[in-house]
Structure 1
Amino acid sequence: MASLDWKTLHSEYIYKDAWLTARKDRCITPTGKIVEPYYVLEYANWVNGLAIAEDGRVIMVRQFRQGFRQTLLEIPGGTMDPEDTSPEIAMRRELLEETGHSFEQMTYLGEICPNPASSNNVTHMFLATGGKKVQEQQLDQNEEIEIVYLTMEELKQMLLKHEIKQSLHVTCILYALLKLEQLKIV
């Protein structure tokens, strides 16, 4: 099979900030076509996880999302910080900060690309089980998060009704349900 990989001839950063870095690339395809400009957004890697408390309830978070301009129900997650030595460490930190829960078991479900056409990062997905409340939330300055507990059946009904809007979170939930054998592939 022939390679379809492009080669980057030149990259130029057009904006750099803590939460957004944008660059403009000049590329060449295997057939020799020049693609210019091609814009890429650089982000840190992310983590998210379906969190299940020791009583079997699913721990969700509600928060306002400015990009979508709505308050959404989501699974816990966030950006990997530079001091996070692994995706699991980042996920445990995010769970503790957002929900105040610590988890006995952390199962890695894989990584996905949020938008490989224009973004360079991945999202690491987890299934966290055996959650116990050990502290109050430790939210970032701009976070206002409400914790919501659901039964597994309520979660599945919300998925079927398309009530969970964050696509990266829907993907993680589906992989977690497969792992838990709550979702059957016919």
Structure 2
Amino acid sequence: MGASETYRRFDPWRTSPVREESRSQIVESHYFNVDRVALSSPQVGQFERYIVTENDGDTVGVLAMTDDGMIPFIEQYRIPTHRWTLEIPAGHATGPDDKPLDVARRKLREEAGFEASHFAQFTRFINTPSFSTQHTALFYATGLTPVARSGFGPETPRSDVRMLSLDDAYRMAVNGTIVDAKSIIAVLRLYSAPDHVIEEA
């Protein structure tokens, strides 16, 4: 068997090796809930896990690009890590009828101060599969028009927008200046395969 071969094809939906015995919700919020889940398996017996379940669909991020090749990043103060981050505009649904594209349009306008004539979803990923159901859908937005910004959270009442070229954003992702996962994924995805992303858009 060669180094690139495996004993079987990868199947993400094959039979689960554990059995869920019970589940109870212990935290409820507008954004996510937390469940205590009891599980068992023949190998290890019974055990518990705490699972964060996302409400109202995917988190959404927007990698937007102006006609002259600049990408807006938002300066955000993040309370859990007590630090400032540079992030692409992002957010989540405010209700079950709020679709990912609606979120993308709203967050680009509120956080970055742009409207876009075209959006295309170019990737989707699981944020932390070890303890959360959270998925993030990333959109590529073009045909930008400046508009007034309107959305400011209590953590960062007047967050600044920094316009970066793709080359600069790539360097900042690689050297650790940009540490936000969705922003790194978006930048590396565009940098490594720009033609594929642009074709989708």
Same fold (TM over 0.5): yes
2:146 pairs with 1:137: no
Partners of 1:9 and 1:3 in 2: CA distance: 16
Q: 1:42 aligns with which of 21, 46, 53?
A: 53
Partners of 1:48 and 1:21 in 2: CA distance: 21
Q: CA deviation at 1:147?
A: 0.8
Partners of 1:74 and 1:131 in 2: CA distance: 18
Match of 1:13 in 2: 25
Alignment gaps of 5+ in structure 1: none
> Aligned runs of 1:20-169 on 2, under 5 Å?
20-29=32-41, 31=42, 33-44=44-55, 45-82=58-95, 84-144=97-157, 145-169=159-183
Given residue 81 of structure 2, which amino acid in structure 1 is its aligned partner? F
Give the percent of matched residue pairs that are identical in Structure 1 and Structure 2: 19
Partners of 1:154 and 1:7 in 2: CA distance: 47
- TM-score, normalised by the number of residues in structure 1: 0.85
Partners of 2:188 and 2:120 in 1: CA distance: 14
Number of aligned residues: 182
CA contact (8 A) 1:6 1:28 kept: yes
Partners of 1:171 and 1:84 in 2: CA distance: 27
47-56 or 134-143: bigger deviation: 134-143
- TM-score, normalised by the number of residues in structure 2: 0.80
Aligned alpha-carbon RMSD (Å): 2.3
Q: CA deviation at 1:42?
A: 1.8
2:188 pairs with 1:174: yes
Alignment gaps of 5+ in structure 2: 1-7, 9-13
